[in-house]
Amino acid sequence: METTIMQQAAQLQDKLAAAYPDLLLPQAVPLLWLGPVRPVLTIGVNPSPRDFDNEDRFPRKKNDQKAVDWAKTEAEAAMRQLNDYFLSGDVYTNWFGKKNGAKMEGFMNGAGHSYYGDHASVYHMDYVPFATKKRMGATGLKEELFQLEDMRTLFQQRLTWLRPRQIWVFGDDVKRALPEVEHGPVQLVPGYPAVSFASGSVCDCPAVFVHAKPGEQFLGLGSATDSHGRHHGSYGSRSSLREIGAIISREIEGLG
């Protein structure tokens, strides 16, 4: 089933490459998910082109090779490599952070989870599994890509296969793109009122929606202060990330 999904993703990648010749990183292949299948899944936008700065981190194809041709012979080996992410020691820490560090890892540590180690309980998937030459927001095509029916179908196929117990969705842009989203009232994080969250579901899977992105250390909040006089820049510290993650986790448990 994994290789079948990879082949379908490769078909979509070739379709996008034909429609938007300057959009995708030519050597990149679909990154269906990152890490061993675990109970908790975080969801982001799409892989960064900087993910491919290290030639050994991910599988690659030749620049002029169609993704479907690559997938015919390499899909199975590629899935093994993607499943070993967070185990290999070669992680894109600018987004995920180091073990017991800041960024996504720090936030998820606060929520009682980790990407790393013997007791790791979380792994990652991007809604768009294709690395773009520019960051997604600078392509001018983000909303168009998000609304593609083929993209939604690919997301649902992956989610059905993975069957996580809980999903954490980061960013309102991602939440808007996901199919079959339901959530309750949006709440502010006590003590950190510039960050909001909600509890709900995606395709009937329990989900937590956080409007900001800890992998960016909440840079999207801008350079300002919140209603308590706390500068948004302080939200991105390791201690603050852990505290915000812990608060949201407690609040979600209380709602249950």
3-state secondary structure the chain: CHHHHHHHHHHHHHHHHHHCCCCECCCECCCCCECCCCCEEEEECCCCHHHHCCCCCCCECCCCCCHHHHHHHHHHHHHHHHHCCCCCCCCCHHHHCCCCCCHHHHHHHHCCCCCCCCCCCEEEEECCCCCECCCHHHCCCHHHHHCCHHHHHHHHHHHHHHCCCEEEEECHHHHHHCCCEEECCCEEECCEEEEEEEEEEECCEEEEEECCCHHHCCHHHCCCECCCCCEHHHHHCHHHHHHHHHHHHHHHHHHC
pLDDT in 10s for each residue of the chain, 256 residues: 678 999 999 999 999 999 999 999 999 999 999 999 999 999 999 998 888 877 788 899 999 999 999 999 999 999 999 999 999 878 999 999 999 999 999 999 999 999 999 899 999 999 999 999 999 989 999 999 999 999 999 999 999 999 999 999 999 999 999 999 999 999 999 999 999 999 999 999 999 999 988 877 666 677 778 887 787 878 889 999 999 999 999 999 866 5
pLDDT tens readout for residues 44-83:
999 988 888 777 888 999 999 999 999 999 999 999 999 9
pLDDT tens readout for residues 119-154:
999 999 999 999 999 999 899 999 999 999 999 999
Tell me what the pLDDT averaged over the chain comes to: 92
pLDDT score, position 34: 97
Asked whether the beta carbons of 166 and 39 are under 8 A apart, the reply is yes
Distance CA 130, CA 138 (A): 15
The pTM of the full predicted model, rounded to 2 decimals, is: 0.93
